[in-house]
Amino acid sequence: MTAVQSTAEWIGSVIKQNEIDKYLVNGQDFIDDRRIEEQLKQARPDPARIKDIIAKALDLQRLDPEETAALIALSPREKDLWQQIYAAAGTIKNKVYGSRIVTFAPLYVSNLCVNDCLYCGYRSSNTKIRRKRLSDNELRAEIQALVSAGHKRLIMVYGEHPLSDVDYIAHTIQLAYETKVGNGEIRRANINAAPLSIDQLRLLKDIGIGTYQVFQETCHHATYRKLHPRGIKADYRWRLYALHRSLEAGADDVAIGALFGLHDWRFEIMGLLYHAMDLEHHFGGVGPHTISFPRLVPAVGTPFCTHSQHLVDDDTMERVIAILRLSVPYTGMILTCRESAAVRDRFLELGVTQLDFGSNIGVGDYSTHDTELDKQQFILQDTRSLDEGIRWLAQRGHLTSFCTAGYRCGRTGHYFMDIAKQGKVHTMCMPNAILTFQEYLLDYASPATRQAGEALIADTLAGMPATPLKDRLQQYVKRLRHGERDLYV
């Protein structure tokens, strides 16, 4: 934003209608509310059909909308079939991704926002939130705190505001990559930011952003209009096609998500599936790198979060996650600290591939240890440290990965999607997961976590077939233990 440009002028300059219209079909977007509602109404969840659908998902084939609707329609009382679905969800995850769990941390860089989303603590009309945008020195302090804890992957989060525009985003990403602490550094900065134009997205691609994450929040048109009364976010289609523009601009990966609790969970699952399908249609089979499924949780000054008629309970959420895993079997799935430790323990084996730990969502709070809620978008439920989370995962047989080698070697986009659909991600990524896990254990882990982690690495190596790759990996582990860093295959 220029010095003479007002906020209102900036808002008016953001949306590029031609970058929406090019993707419409007969003037319509890919979310057809009536069609989805009819598919849900006509769904046939008879046992034989459900078993066929499970078999298709186990073969790593994306489900059709009618098949996903059948899973949605299956009664919770069909406990035997649901147990088969849950088991299939875990099998699919292990078949594609192995025992790896990717770990990251959210970094809130600015909570200034021109939008007025009724469910968000950062909405412009909320007077109970302290507004802040990190300065360069404050951002360096945040990165140093995160790196000192062992983090190497971030999701950097920005409100939509002229003071946190694309130039600010690009500048802060550069600072994140430049900040080092001893052996530690940030090797992958993903972003959760407002929808941007194709030219702006090309700028961020050149800077080196990782995955570009934009959640539609709700795909239901009428609900979306009601919950987004003002601001740029009020334009449903500008947001809906944000990830299309990102892939057109050459982004490595994109990520979709819905905020469960805004509208009927059944509709939102279908919306996520249609979003994945449309991305694949336009970009040669490349869909979302990850799907997120956060639930509404309390936020300061935001009564909607506890009063919504569409809140999703734990039993229903268990079904939601399993259905999503079967519907798009080759896509990563993120379960965040919005959920409690007990809930994440319950849901982990349903196909989750990414978790955050040691998270703080107050702007500037990693370095200041400010735990006041009036800078946070919502209230976190799982407050375990990264070390505690990694130990918990290791004790359950899951190997924590901080790997970013795939991105630095160009194994993204079509390359990644192809191997994911073949169920080979674990084959490619497990060696580098072991190496980054070993780095963490050497540099940051508590004695208890290092003991659990070293045992898991030993078991993992022992279970690998004798190949030149295994020999190379064992040599790299030895080199790490002698002080080298950032070794990858």
**The pLDDT of residue 76:** 97
Give the whole-angstrom CA distance, residue 363 versus residue 333: 25
CB 441 within 8 A of CB 449: yes
**The pLDDT of residue 407:** 60
- Reading phi first (left if > 0) and then psi (alpha if -120 to 50, else beta), residue 486 is in left
Q: Residue 383: is its pLDDT beyond 60? A: yes
Q: Residue 375: is its pLDDT beyond 90? A: no
CB atoms within 10 A of CB 8: 10
CB 218 within 8 A of CB 258: yes
Average pLDDT over residues 245-250: 96
Q: Residue 343: is its pLDDT beyond 60? A: yes
CB atoms within 10 A of CB 409: 13
CB 218 within 8 A of CB 259: yes
**The pLDDT of residue 415:** 63
Give the whole-angstrom CA distance, residue 288 versus residue 292: 10
**The pLDDT of residue 7:** 80
Q: Residue 3: is its pLDDT beyond 50? A: no
**193-215 pLDDT, tens digit each:** 999 999 999 999 999 998 999 99
β-pair type (184-185, 180-181)? antiparallel
**52-109 pLDDT, tens digit each:** 999 999 999 999 999 999 999 999 999 999 999 999 999 999 999 999 999 999 999 9
CB 373 within 8 A of CB 300: yes
Q: State the DSSP code for 397.
A: T
**112-155 pLDDT, tens digit each:** 999 999 999 999 999 999 999 999 999 999 999 999 999 999 99
What percent of the chain clears pLDDT 90, i.e. is strictly above it? Answer: 86
Task: Provide the residue type at 248 as one letter.
Answer: E
Residue 489: C-alpha distances to residues 9, 191, 407, 468, 485 (Å): 49, 26, 12, 12, 13
CB atoms within 10 A of CB 242: 24
Torsion angle, alpha carbons of 293, 169, 126, 296, to 10: 10
Give the whole-angstrom CA distance, residue 38 versus residue 274: 14
262 φ/ψ angles, rounded to the nearest 5 degrees: -85, -35
The C-alpha angle 65, 67, 73, rounded to 5 degrees, equals 100
Q: Residue 272: is its pLDDT beyond 50? A: yes
Torsion angle, alpha carbons of 4, 9, 13, 15, to 10: 150
Residue predicted with more confidence, 489 or 182:
182
Place of tokens 């499924």: 293
Tokens of 466: 């004798």
Q: State the DSSP code for 164.
A: G
Residue predicted with more confidence, 271 or 369:
271
Burial 264-278, CB ≥16 within 10 A → b, else e: bbbbbbbbbbbbbbb
**The pLDDT of residue 185:** 94
CB atoms within 10 A of CB 260: 23
**208-234 pLDDT, tens digit each:** 998 999 999 999 999 999 999 999 999
**Chain-centre distance of CA 95, in angstroms?**
20
Q: Residue 408: is its pLDDT beyond 70? A: no
CA gyration radius for the chain? 22
321 φ/ψ angles, rounded to the nearest 5 degrees: -65, -45
Give the whole-angstrom CA distance, residue 37 versus residue 222: 13
Give the whole-angstrom CA distance, residue 283 versus residue 264: 29
Q: Residue 2: is its pLDDT beyond 60? A: no
**The pLDDT of residue 421:** 76
Lowest-confidence segment of 5-9, 163-167, 280-284, 307-311 by average pLDDT: 5-9
Give the whole-angstrom CA distance, residue 124 versus residue 129: 9
* SS3 category, 401: strand
**The pLDDT of residue 404:** 75
**The pLDDT of residue 247:** 96
Mean pLDDT of the chain: 93
| Crossing angle for the helix pair 65-73 and 47-58, to the nearest 10 degrees | 130
- Give which of 422, 417, 415 is closest to 285, Cα–Cα: 417
**The pLDDT of residue 5:** 64
CB 460 within 8 A of CB 99: yes
Q: Residue 342: is its pLDDT beyond 70? A: yes
Residue predicted with more confidence, 238 or 374:
238
| Crossing angle for the helix pair 65-73 and 314-327, to the nearest 10 degrees | 160
- Reading phi first (left if > 0) and then psi (alpha if -120 to 50, else beta), residue 152 is in alpha
**The pLDDT of residue 215:** 98
